[in-house]
Amino acid sequence: QVQLVESGGGLVQAGGSLRLSCAASGRTFSTYSMGWFRQAPGKEREFIAAISRSDDSTYYADSMKGRFTISRDVAKNTVYLQMNSLKPEDTAVYYCAASLMVMTTVATAYDYWGQGTQVTVSS
What are the tens digits of pLDDT across the range 82-97?
Answer: 999 999 999 999 999 9
- pLDDT tens digit string along 34-55? 999 999 999 999 999 999 987 7
Q: Is the pLDDT of residue 30 over 80?
A: no
Distances (CA, A) of 114 to 16, 19, 36, 77, 95: 24, 16, 10, 14, 6
What is the C-alpha to C-alpha distance for residues 2 and 78, in angstroms, rounded to an integer?
Answer: 12
What is residue 87's DSSP assignment?
A: -
Instruction: Say if residues 23 and 8 touch (Cβ distance below 8 Å).
Output: no
Averaged pLDDT, 19-42: 89
Distance of CA 45 to the CA centre of its chain: 12
Q: Is the pLDDT of residue 26 over 80?
A: no
Distances (CA, A) of 70 to 1, 43, 81: 23, 23, 5
